[in-house]
Amino acid sequence: AAPLSNPPAAPFSIPLAAAHSNPPGCTDVLCCVIFVIVILGYIVLGTVAWMHGDPRKVVYPTDSYGQFCGQQGTPNANKAILFYFNILQCANPTVLINLQCPTTQLCVSKCPDRFATYIDMQYNYRRNKSYWDYYKLFCKPGFNNPDKVLQNEDCPSMIVPSRPFLQRCFPDFITRNGTLTVANKTSFKDGHGKIRSVVDLRDAANGITSLLDAKEVGVKIFEDYASSWFWILIGLVISMLVSLIFILLLRFTAGVLFWMVIFGVIAAVGYGIWHCYWEYSSLKGKPDSDITISDIGFQTDFRVYLQLRQTWLIFMISLAVIEAIIILVLIFLRNRVRIAIALLKEGSKAIGCIMSTLFYPIITFLLLALCIAYWAVTAVFLASSGDAVYKVMSTLPDCKYTNLTCDPETFSQSNVTKLCPGSQCTFAFYGGESLYHRYIFVLQLCNLLVFLWLVNFTIALGQCTLAGAFASYYWALRKPADIPPCPLASSFGRALRYHTGSLAFGALILSIVQFIRIILEYLDHKLKGAHNAFTRFLLCCLKCCFWCLEHFIKFMNRNAYIMISVYGKNFCASARDAFFLLMRNVMRVAVLDKVTDFLLFLGKLLISGSVGVLAFFFFTRQIPVIQEEVPSLNYYWVPLLTVIFGSYMIAQGFFNVYAMCVDTLFLCFCEDLERNDGSPSKPYYMPPGLHRILNKTDQGGKKYAVS
């Protein structure tokens, strides 16, 4: 239809020729000022943390003298591993990693590879000096008298075969035929000549065996990434191209394509059910196929699970439930699916007119990466702030000076050594007594809260920018002629120039709720061993309530940002208008929003699933043409899962733009229906096709502001 001579009052984001005569004003200025001040304070916090912190305290282990192991330019440059004189005094691995084990800790170049005691070394030294040459590698520097009786832990009373993990020497545990051994031995002599079981070592380092196994798996996974990264990158590029082509095709064949997606997913899930049943039936009668998953426990080789009938039964039931849900949704909401497809089709036209919106997620990704990097670096520098704190360490249970702060330079002249023979002043941790050091934990909480605020602001900026661009499309009198030039850049500039305060306001509300949720999760983790049922129940209720509150605020913020981009009002007014507009169209919102999300989810599932199937056939060498190009892998599921997850995230990046487009068009459509009636003075801005499918008949005299 031709443009009207007297166009109605129009929203803020339409072309300049039909926009408000008065220029827009800044919204939520106070919140904008506070946000800028907080950012400046965050920069100051990072600077102060950088001045006081030392990441070497996190990267390098520290010995009993407060010296870093493996640091270049120091006597320990070639001694990168921390050795514990008597690991039996360490209760658990947490104590070890936190450097609070009550025994001397020394930097060494390598871990011991044999059992030995100081007493045996003294006996063998007289016959062969090589015993001492090896043993003294684990003694304090400067101790060269093997005939001397041990005092002040100059040497370890015993050494056990160990291997480095987390740059620390841990006993080299190996399980053989269900028996725990260290260097093929089940017992050893401690420093006092007593025969001890290696179980005592395991109890002292509880959980280290599983950690070492995890390290071996980690090394193999790293090797798989190193040999398959090129093919993983190709898979991600393919998923990006498929996602782009999929969205471009929506502009011309949205209805057909989405029905193909729906039935394609139904067919794919149906094939999966049949394949699982076939595998389940073929394993019948085979040896060990009836063993349950709980019987074999966790296995790093996932192929073991595929030999169990229970695995395929679980897969089959899960796929059957998914298939039933999809079919029921299509049966009962088939009309709403048609409406959602119409919105998606109109959304594809809008994206086709503003193609630059597809690449805006890259800007969001870069901003989020910057926020995460700054938060992580600040957290590390805060955690490593402080000076070395030394404490009295004594093996005597009744020493009253144990764990008291001491000075290593004057400790030998104090009376502590007389009252507690054998006590030492050793490094404990990094800290301090200044005001800054006392509030390190509070500063870490501030770092977390500001990080959440910046992340949510970045997401809000992206949503408002995309909403403004798509609203410019909807409220154009003639599409695409009246769409303003560079709508995405214009919308980005408007959001930053006029609405930084409103976006920061909405982001702050969401960040506070997320911050409270993190605290609740922390409390829940701390209270896992608590037996107070009421406390656990109350905490569970609070977690559930704040989870619901967070998702509700996300939904409201998203629609509030759309209204901000359309009318240029402040956050509270926009949130109120969006809420009441949605309530007046609650049935459309409840059904169309979920149906649209469901259809977009099927699209993401189809893209990631198809690329995943291709990657599965490639990495399992089932494609004869390129069979020789497949790298040798320890676990083929490592690159496979990476490709599937990466493909899903890439598809989600593209489809999030699409979802924002549909939400914006839907909100504009609801506003269009309420403000206009299709008369010559108040024409509808919606396309006639969308108007007809939403059961609004085009009666005589009604006009559309579209070509």
Whole-angstrom Cα distance, residue 17 to residue 7? 10
Residue 14, helix vs strand vs coil = coil
Residue (of 359, 378, 373, 554) closest to 466 by Cα position: 359
| Lowest mean pLDDT segment, chosen from 13-27, 231-245, 369-383, 504-518 | 13-27
Quick: pLDDT tens for 413-450.
787 877 787 677 777 766 666 667 778 888 889 999 99
State the total domains in the chain.
2
Q: What pLDDT score does 90 carry?
A: 64
Q: What pLDDT score does 461 carry?
A: 94
One DSSP character per residue, 604-628 reads HHHHHHHHHHHHHHHHTT--GGGGG
Q: What is the mean predicted confidence (pLDDT) over 32-42?
A: 95
Tell me the pLDDT band of 191, cut-offs 50, 70 and 90.
low
Residue (of 386, 431, 432, 422) closest to 402 by Cα position: 422
Tell me the pLDDT band of 69, cut-offs 50, 70 and 90.
confident
Tell me the pLDDT band of 153, cut-offs 50, 70 and 90.
low
Last residue of a domain, one of 403, 431, 459: 431
Q: What pLDDT score does 298 carry?
A: 62
Answer whether residue 703 shows pLDDT above 60: no
Whole-angstrom Cα distance, residue 326 to residue 265? 9
Q: Which of 79-88, 224-233, 476-485, 574-583 has the highest mean pLDDT?
A: 574-583
* Reduced 3-state DSSP string for 404-419: CEECCCCHHHCCHHHH
Q: Tell me what percent of the residues of the chain surpass a pLDDT of 70.
A: 80
Residue (of 207, 218, 212, 198) closest to 93 by Cα position: 207
* Whether the Cβ atoms of residue 588 and residue 696 lie closer than 8 Å to each other: no
Residue 68, helix vs strand vs coil = strand
Strands 195-197 and 116-117: unpaired
420: containing domain = 387-431
Residue 47, helix vs strand vs coil = helix
Q: For residues 420-440, b (16+ Cβ closer than 10 Å) or e, as one string?
A: beebbbbbbebeeeeebbeeb
Tell me the pLDDT band of 200, cut-offs 50, 70 and 90.
confident
Diameter of the chain measured on Cα atoms: 115
From residue 142, alpha-carbon distances to 66, 112, 169 in Å are: 18, 19, 22
Last residue of a domain, one of 168, 193, 218: 193
Of 230 and 151, the structure prediction assigns the larger pLDDT to 230
Residue 638, helix vs strand vs coil = helix
* Whether the Cβ atoms of residue 102 and residue 89 lie closer than 8 Å to each other: yes
Tell me the pLDDT band of 95, cut-offs 50, 70 and 90.
very low
* Reduced 3-state DSSP string for 123-143: HHHCCCCHHHHHHHHHCCCCC
CB atoms within 10 A of CB 378: 26
Q: What pLDDT score does 53 carry?
A: 78
CB atoms within 10 A of CB 519: 14
| Lowest mean pLDDT segment, chosen from 11-20, 62-71, 123-132 | 11-20
Give residue for tokens 């065996």: 209
Q: What pLDDT score does 693 carry?
A: 60
Of 303 and 440, the structure prediction assigns the larger pLDDT to 440
Answer whether residue 707 shows pLDDT above 50: no
Of 551 and 675, the structure prediction assigns the larger pLDDT to 551
Whole-angstrom Cα distance, residue 84 to residue 116? 14
Q: Tell me what percent of the residues of the chain surpass a pLDDT of 90.
A: 16
Q: Is residue 12 in a domain?
A: no
Answer whether residue 587 shows pLDDT above 90: no
- Angle, alpha carbons 370-435-65 (nearest 5°): 85
Of 7 and 286, the structure prediction assigns the larger pLDDT to 286
Of 531 and 194, the structure prediction assigns the larger pLDDT to 194
Last residue of a domain, one of 193, 209, 229: 193
Whole-angstrom Cα distance, residue 140 to residue 108? 10
Q: Is residue 183 in a domain?
A: yes
Residue 699, helix vs strand vs coil = coil
First-residue to last-residue Cα distance in the chain: 5
Tell me the pLDDT band of 690, cut-offs 50, 70 and 90.
low
Answer whether residue 403 shows pLDDT above 80: no
Residue 620 neighbours by CB under 8 Å, 6+ apart: 636
Whole-angstrom Cα distance, residue 497 to residue 461? 11
Q: What pLDDT score does 4 carry?
A: 34
Q: Is residue 129 in a domain?
A: yes
Whole-angstrom Cα distance, residue 296 to residue 311? 12
Q: What pLDDT score does 216 carry?
A: 60
Tell me the pLDDT band of 704, cut-offs 50, 70 and 90.
very low
The residue type found at 505 is F
- Angle, alpha carbons 665-669-675 (nearest 5°): 140
Answer whether residue 649 shows pLDDT above 60: yes
Q: What is the mean predicted confidence (pLDDT) over 517-531?
A: 78
Q: Which of 112-121, 194-203, 368-377 has the highest mean pLDDT?
A: 368-377
Q: For residues 577-587, b (16+ Cβ closer than 10 Å) or e, as one string?
A: bbeebbeebee
**Sign of the four-CA dihedral 502, 503, 504, 507:** positive
* Token representation of residue 607: 């893209």
Whole-angstrom Cα distance, residue 491 to residue 477? 18
Q: Is residue 337 in a domain?
A: no
Q: Which of 31-40, 216-225, 640-649 has the highest mean pLDDT?
A: 31-40
Q: Is residue 267 in a domain?
A: no
Q: What pLDDT score does 452 carry?
A: 95
Residue 688 neighbours by CB under 8 Å, 6+ apart: 698, 704, 706
Residue 465, helix vs strand vs coil = helix
Q: Is residue 480 in a domain?
A: no
* Whether the Cβ atoms of residue 630 and residue 614 lie closer than 8 Å to each other: no
Q: Is residue 109 in a domain?
A: yes
Tell me the average pLDDT of the chain: 78
* Whether the Cβ atoms of residue 563 and residue 663 lie closer than 8 Å to each other: no
Answer whether residue 17 shows pLDDT above 70: no
| Lowest mean pLDDT segment, chosen from 58-62, 372-376, 454-458, 696-700 | 696-700
Whole-angstrom Cα distance, residue 193 to residue 197? 13
* Whether the Cβ atoms of residue 76 and residue 67 lie closer than 8 Å to each other: yes
Answer whether residue 504 shows pLDDT above 80: yes
Residue 461, helix vs strand vs coil = helix
Strands 179-182 and 116-117: unpaired
DSSP bridge partners of 430:
388
Residue 395, helix vs strand vs coil = coil
Answer whether residue 267 shows pLDDT above 80: yes
* Token representation of residue 33: 């000022």
* Token representation of residue 470: 């798509």
Residue (of 46, 69, 97) closest to 211 by Cα position: 97
The DSSP symbol for 479 reads T
Answer whether residue 193 shows pLDDT above 80: no
Q: What pLDDT score does 630 carry?
A: 76
* Whether the Cβ atoms of residue 84 and residue 162 lie closer than 8 Å to each other: no
For 595, counting Cβ atoms within 10 Å of its Cβ (0-12 exposed, 13-18 middle, 19+ buried), the class is: buried
Q: Is residue 544 in a domain?
A: no
Answer whether residue 235 shows pLDDT above 90: no
Q: Which of 43-57, 173-187, 290-304, 570-584 has the highest mean pLDDT?
A: 570-584
Whole-angstrom Cα distance, residue 194 to residue 85? 17
Task: Report helix angle 637-675 to 334-353, nearest 10.
Answer: 90
Residue (of 561, 587, 567, 352) closest to 466 by Cα position: 561
Q: What pLDDT score does 556 carry?
A: 93
Tell me the pLDDT band of 280, cut-offs 50, 70 and 90.
confident
* Whether the Cβ atoms of residue 405 and residue 389 lie closer than 8 Å to each other: yes
Tell me the pLDDT band of 576, cut-offs 50, 70 and 90.
very high
Q: What pLDDT score does 100 carry?
A: 55
Q: What pLDDT score does 214 carry?
A: 57
The residue type found at 289 is S
